[in-house]
Amino acid sequence: MDIRTLTAFFMWCTIMNGALLVLWTTMCMSAPDLVYRMQSKWFPIPRETFDVVIYSFLGVFKVVWLVFNAVPYVVLLIIG
């Protein structure tokens, strides 16, 4: 694989996963009751526990997105 292919791959991974992160964060911030009602049908947990879990998962997803998508893309741009 050449560096241009890798750069294009990481660019699209960063864009797609970043859009998913923004969408998910927007949903959790703008309609938290809707998200809780939808999820509590499948997983019956208290609201306080749900809030901790969902925001922790958002934080973990953000760190994983940065480490495995954004940073490699920026590095490939620098060395390319």
pLDDT at 67: 98
Per residue, what are the HEC states of 28-65? HHHCHHHHHHHHHHHCCCCHHHHHHHHHHHHHHHHHHH
Nearest to 17 by CA among 61, 53, 74: 61
pTM above the 0.85 mark? yes
Whose structure tokens read 């958002």? 58
pLDDT at 1: 84
All structural domains of the chain with their residue ranges = 3-79
**Mean pLDDT in each 10-residue stretch from start to end of the chain (80 residues)?**
95 98 97 95 94 97 98 96
Q: Using CA atoms, how far apart are residues 9 and 17, in angstroms rounded to an integer?
A: 12
